[in-house]
Amino acid sequence: MTGERPSLRASRAKSRGDPGRARSAYFGIDLGGTKVAVALVDEGGRVVAQGRQLIHHGAASLVLDDILACLTSVGVPRGYRPRGAGVGVAGQVRRSDGMVLYAPNLKWRNYPLGHRLRAALRLPVVVTNDVQAETYGEWHRGAGRAANDLLCVFIGTGVGGGVVTDGRLLSGAAHAFGEVGHSMLVAGGRRCHCPASGCIEAYVSGWAIAVRAQEAVRRTPELGDDLVRRAGSVEAIAADTVTEASREGDPLARQISEETAQFLGLGLAGLVNAFNPSRLVLGGGIIDHHPEYVPVVRRLVRRLAQPPAARAVRVVRSALGPDAGVIGSALLARDRKAERHP
Amino acid sequence: MTGERPSLRASRAKSRGDPGRARSAYFGIDLGGTKVAVALVDEGGRVVAQGRQLIHHGAASLVLDDILACLTSVGVPRGYRPRGAGVGVAGQVRRSDGMVLYAPNLKWRNYPLGHRLRAALRLPVVVTNDVQAETYGEWHRGAGRAANDLLCVFIGTGVGGGVVTDGRLLSGAAHAFGEVGHSMLVAGGRRCHCPASGCIEAYVSGWAIAVRAQEAVRRTPELGDDLVRRAGSVEAIAADTVTEASREGDPLARQISEETAQFLGLGLAGLVNAFNPSRLVLGGGIIDHHPEYVPVVRRLVRRLAQPPAARAVRVVRSALGPDAGVIGSALLARDRKAERHP
């Protein structure tokens, strides 16, 4: 990346003047509920430039402006020419036209993000689910490279997943293939944010860790001093509070953290049976903060999955970390014809 | 089918003499732990002739003889010419050469079934897992027809499943894609026959229903008279005992049966989230005997799965019943090139 950051339009105009030498690149956009991350990615999946910023709450058009501002601030370094843009959105997306059908964190229903971005950027745009984009990124450039049967599970605020088999990212009937966060862990167990109880997400996601920690502190207040002091109040205890306190040796936080790893391993052993992957990639914020969960999951999968499935799988940590989404989105834009996107 | 049943070899020789008029057909073989079922199936997937018989326990060569005897007894009706044979085996199979790597019920390890059958029949042979064959059958000729995203779950002695998406039966790294019987239902719950506890199979399979019923009778002997009388002893209570007693109104059997339907619905709601099918086909012996489970599952999926996944799926009963395996195996033999089998 050069020191200069020309505006998006200026750069495109400039590189148009010299198309023979400009290298193709793709914008990858990872749109979460509170922030947007953007990267310009070259044909080989390497990040050329990147940035991120908070987004406005409220009207979708303000969020669109935030995305465009973030793209402009990242810009296009000299020598590159953007050929398309890919967006991963936390929500349900109709890939055929880039319509965001439902994105609860953004409070969007039926927002034509693909259409709006195409009009603003004058580039082909691919819109997909954020977890599908992350899976695509790990598959092409990360810990899932060269895996023919890949299951990626991302444990962050929520839990999501994606599946690649025989060289294709599986979509499912509603573009939710691999949404393993809402497969069962303990039927009739903890309330989930979805209509069911006892989902994997209700035990190991960021929000679930917070709920479990708050309950543990209420149950055994004599052990909760450290967590309450760090957070300010019981209600303010978050997954991060547990991570920090656990790192510094607080026994209750350690116990909660160890239980999280166990729950995750039990759930994933069952999913290794169901999806029979050759590689299981673990990513997301919780794994980024707790890489020690990966060997725990590996051991539990080896011990509890059916022997042929257990022998066939390698359990590894995400290689792209928080960049999986922007890289995967950009590569989906690069490959949009192969993936049959418009 | 004509009244005559000429031997397999005689029929083949005869039809060879008149190849222009003979219609192509395929043997489908469904090899379980105690019996073999065989059908001759035409190009369109219709059963032309069929039969079944018990198999010997002991040496694999005796079982091979049983299969050949069953094929001969079914025979080839005049006007048909067999072009290949497909076998579905309850176990782990290497599809490339038809090696049965492990079939616990048959006590086989590394038995070259494909090779032996090819030599005996002088026909191309495809060997696959029984549940994959059943899924293939339901997809082509049964309740999964024209579904682009299909999940089949078969609840019998065990619980197995298969997945079709974008026109392909998914295989997985060890040919066990869709083995949903060993995804979690209640982590840390009932002992399963596999290395884990709390799998779906440990709650709703035939053996699990028997175990649950025996436990219920021991727990509340005053309610167990009917079940014990039918079976002869507590240890002899089987899933069939529960089915019969439940049909005739025994309250304990009814309760066990209703709990089975609930467990099944909870587990399948999670699997609908994970696999996002457009159609969920329920089959296997337990469903054949309890078709009333299908609407219970349908309601629970609608209520508990994530709304987009719940809206996308139709929950239906297997259309082929116990014939799914023989029809699917025969069609896998028909399509072996498309499926890249030798």
The interface residues of chain B toward chain A in range 271-330, judged by CB-CB distance below 8 A, are 271, 273-278, 303-309, 311-313
What's the predicted TM-score (pTM) here?
0.91
Chain A closest CA to B267's CA: distance in Å?
6
Dist CA B27 CA B88 (whole Å): 11
Place of tokens 């008149």: B18
Better-scored residue on pLDDT, A105 or A81: A81
- Report phi then psi at A4, rounded to 5: -75, 150
Distances (CA, A) of A49 to A70, B161, B324: 11, 45, 55
Q: Which of B194, B278, B304 sits opposite A306 (nearest CB)?
A: B194
Q: Which pLDDT belongs to residue B18?
A: 55
Q: Is the pLDDT of residue A329 over 50?
A: yes
Q: Which pLDDT belongs to residue A201?
A: 96
How confident is the model over B275-303, as pLDDT tens digits?
Answer: 999 999 999 999 999 999 999 999 999 99
Instruction: Check A177 against B149: CB less than 8 A apart.
Output: yes
Instruction: Check B184 against A275: CB less than 8 A apart.
Output: no
Q: Which pLDDT belongs to residue A280?
A: 98
Question: For residue B90, which of B176, B199, B23, B186 has the smallest C-alpha distance?
Answer: B176
Q: How confident is the prediction for chain B on average, in pLDDT?
A: 92
Q: Which pLDDT belongs to residue A105?
A: 83
Dist CA B112 CA A48 (whole Å): 53
The interface residues of chain B toward chain A in range 59-98, judged by CB-CB distance below 8 A, are 92
Residue from A92, A177, A184, A278 to probe the interface with B (highest B Cβ count within 10 Å)? A184
Exposed, middle or buried, A311 (CB in 10 Å: 0-12/13-18/19+)? exposed
Q: How confident is the prediction for chain A on average, in pLDDT?
A: 92
Q: Is the pLDDT of residue A20 over 90?
A: no
How confident is the model over B225-250, as pLDDT tens digits?
Answer: 999 999 999 999 999 999 999 999 99
Instruction: Check B308 against A174: CB less than 8 A apart.
Output: yes
Strands B80-89 and B125-129: parallel
- Report phi then psi at B167, rounded to 5: 75, 20
Beta bridge partners of A50: A39
Q: Is the pLDDT of residue A165 over 80?
A: yes
Cβ pairs bridging A and B (under 8 Å): 183
Confidence of residue A337 (pLDDT cuts 50, 70, 90): low
Residue A219: other Cβ atoms inside 10 A: 10
| pLDDT above 70: percentage of residues in chain A | 92
The interface residues of chain B toward chain A in range 191-220, judged by CB-CB distance below 8 A, are 194-196, 198-199
Low-confidence ranges of chain B (pLDDT < 50): 1-7, 10-17, 340-342
Distances (CA, A) of A202 to A184, A260, B116: 9, 11, 50
Q: Which of B174, B183, B312 sits opposite A274 (nearest CB)?
A: B183
- Report phi then psi at B315, rounded to 5: -100, 120
Chain A closest CA to B209's CA: distance in Å?
17
CB A26 within 8 A of CB A64: no
Q: Which pLDDT belongs to residue A3?
A: 39
Q: Which pLDDT belongs to residue B319?
A: 97
Instruction: Check B199 against A165: CB less than 8 A apart.
Output: no
Instruction: Check A274 against B182: CB less than 8 A apart.
Output: yes
CB A97 within 8 A of CB A114: yes
Residue from A166, A193, A306, A339 to probe the interface with B (highest B Cβ count within 10 Å)? A306
DSSP output for B247-266: HTT-HHHHHHHHHHHHHHHH
